Amino acid sequence: MTSVTPFIWFDDDAEQAIQLYLGLFPDASVIEENRTPDGALFYASFRIAGQTVMALNGGPHFTKNESFSFFVSVETQQEVDYYWDALTADGGQESQCGWLKDRFGLSWQIIPEALMRYQADSDRALAGRVQAAMFKMQKIIVADLDAAAAASN
């Protein structure tokens, strides 16, 4: 059976990254690990939020950038805050419009369902107001999206 699995290159901190991700997402688990003779993690596959991911400690040959990110769809502001705070902790970096980098350099989008719903609304003026509000944000604030949606032209 054919499958497609994201494969992430880390310098030497894949194990620490995997531990962070396993601690954040319910029902996350390691599927397989391959270790070097001295016990260091070489590569592993793991599952977060139903998605299988592979990670490799490949050395400093390649760097991560925003052209690849994990899109985390959440329902509530509490969930936005939870993932945002955990992923930006200890050296992570906030970016714009719900994007961030965790301390391992991996990009994430923490996006509440409200943003997607408003952007798909048939009232294009409403969608435009919400998008304009989102462009001013780093972490998405649902109450500010709601206020933009409710504003009159």
Q: Tell me: the pLDDT tens digits for 50-63?
A: 999 999 999 999 99
> Do 90 and 127 belong together in one domain?
yes
φ, ψ for residue 44 (rounded to 5)? -150, 155
Considering its fold, how many domains does the chain have in total?
Answer: 2
Pick the closest to residue 43 from 32, 51, 59 (CA basis).
Answer: 32
Helix or strand (DSSP H, E) at 20: helix 14-24
> Do 46 and 86 belong together in one domain?
no
> Do 85 and 140 belong together in one domain?
yes
pLDDT in tens, 104-138: 999 999 999 999 999 999 999 999 999 999 999 99
Amino acid at 128: G
Map residue 32 onto helix, strand or coil: strand
CATH number at residue 143: 3.10.180.10
What integer is the mean pLDDT of 81-93?
98
Long-range contacts of 46-51 (CB under 8 A, 24+ apart): 46/18, 46/21, 46/22, 48/21, 48/22, 48/24, 49/25, 51/6
> Do 96 and 21 belong together in one domain?
no
The parent domain of residue 149 ranges over 64-153
What integer is the mean pLDDT of 57-80?
96
**Looking at the predicted structure, is the pLDDT value of residue 152 above 80?**
no
- Give the CA diameter of the chain: 65
| pLDDT grade for 153, boundaries at 50, 70 and 90 | low
Share above pLDDT 90 across residues of the chain, in percent, rounded to a whole number = 98
Measure CA 152 to chain center: 33
> Do 58 and 80 belong together in one domain?
no
> Do 38 and 91 belong together in one domain?
no
> Do 56 and 69 belong together in one domain?
no
The length of the chain, given as a count of residues: 153
